[in-house]
A and B are shown apart, each in its own frame.
Chain A
Amino acid sequence: MADVPSRIEVRDLTLMYGHETVLDALSLPIPRGKVTVLAGPNGCGKSTLLRAIRRLHTGQKGQIFLDAVDIASLGAKELARQIGLLAQNPSAPPDMTVEELVRLGRYPHQAMLQPWSEKDGVAVNRAMAGTGVTGLKTRRIGSLSGGQLQRAWIAMVLAQETDVICLDEPVNHLDMAHQLDCLDLVSQLNREDGRTIVLVLHDLNLAARYADQLVFVHEGRVRALGQPEELMKPELLAEVFEVDAAIMTDPVHGRPICIPRGRARAAVQERA
Chain B
Amino acid sequence: MSTLAIAAPAGRRLGISAIVLIILALFVLLVLAGIAFGSTWLPLEKVARVILGGGEKTEKLVVWQLRMPRVAAAGIAGAAIAFSGYLLQRITRNELASPGVLGVVDGAALGVVLFLAIFSNESNALTVPVAWQPLAAAIGALTAISLVFILSGRQSSSAIRLLLFGIAIAAVAKALTTVFMLVGPIYQAAQAARWLAGAVNAISWSEIQIMALCLVPTVIVAAWLAKDLPPADLDDVSSRSIGLNLPVYRIAVFFVAAVLTSIAVAFVGGVGFLGLIAPHLARLLVGRARFAGIVASCLLGAMMLIGADLLVRVAFTPLEVPAGTVTAIVGAPYFLFLLMRKDKTNG
Contacts and interface: CB of A to CB of B under 8 A. Distances in A.
B234 to A, nearest CB: 5
A89 B234 CA distance: 11
Given A108-B242, A139-B2, A87 B93 contact: no
Nearest to A85: B241
B230 interface: yes
Given A97-B5, A138-B6, A138-B7, A91 B242 contact: no
B238 interface: yes
Contact of B5 (A56, A85, A140): A140
Interface in A123-182: 138-140, 143, 156, 160
Interface in B1-56: 1-2, 5-7, 9
Interface residues of A, number: 35
**Which applies to chain B's interface (DSSP): helix, strand, loop or mixed?**
loop
A84 B238 CA distance: 9
B241 A87 contact: yes
B238 A96 contact: no
Contacts of B247: 58
Contacts of B2: 139, 143
Interface stretch (A72-80, A197-205, A230-238): A72-80
A131 B206 CA distance: 60
Contacts of B6: 138-139
B234 A143 contact: no
A104 B7 contact: no
A92 interface: yes
B342 interface: no
Contacts of A96: 233, 288
Contact of B230 (A79, A83, A104): A104
B193 interface: no
A170 B326 CA distance: 51
Given A104-B230, A143-B2, A87 B243 contact: no
B93 A104 contact: no
A156 B287 CA distance: 22
Contact of B242 (A51, A80, A139): A80
A108 B2 CA distance: 31
Nearest to A59: B154
B5 A87 contact: no
B241 A92 contact: no
Contacts of B9: 138
Contacts of A95: 287-288
Interface string B70-114: 000000000000000000000001000000000000000000000
B237 interface: yes
A143 B5 CA distance: 9
Contact of B243 (A81, A100, A140): A81
A156 B241 CA distance: 11
Nearest to A103: B230
Contact of A56 (B7, B231, B237): B237
A206 B244 CA distance: 33
B235 interface: yes
Contacts of B241: 54, 56, 80, 83-85, 87
Interface in B282-324: 287-288
A105 interface: yes
A192 B242 CA distance: 23
A56 B240 contact: yes
B72 to A, nearest CB: 33
Contact of B231 (A51, A87, A90, A107): A107
Contacts of B238: 85-87, 90-92, 156
Nearest to A159: B242
Given A76-B244, A80-B242, 19 more contacts: A56-B241, A58-B247, A85-B241, A88-B237, A90-B235, A91-B234, A91-B235, A92-B235, A100-B288, A104-B242, A108-B242, A108-B243, A138-B7, A139-B6, A140-B5, A143-B1, A143-B5, A156-B238, A160-B242
**Closest 4 pairs between A and B when the two form their complex, measured CB to CB:** A80-B243, A108-B243, A87-B237, A77-B243
26 contacts: A56-B240, A56-B241, A76-B240, A80-B242, A83-B241, A86-B238, A88-B237, A90-B234, A90-B235, A92-B234, A92-B238, A93-B93, A93-B233, A97-B5, A104-B230, A107-B242, A107-B244, A108-B242, A108-B243, A138-B5, A138-B9, A139-B6, A143-B2, A143-B5, A156-B238, A156-B242
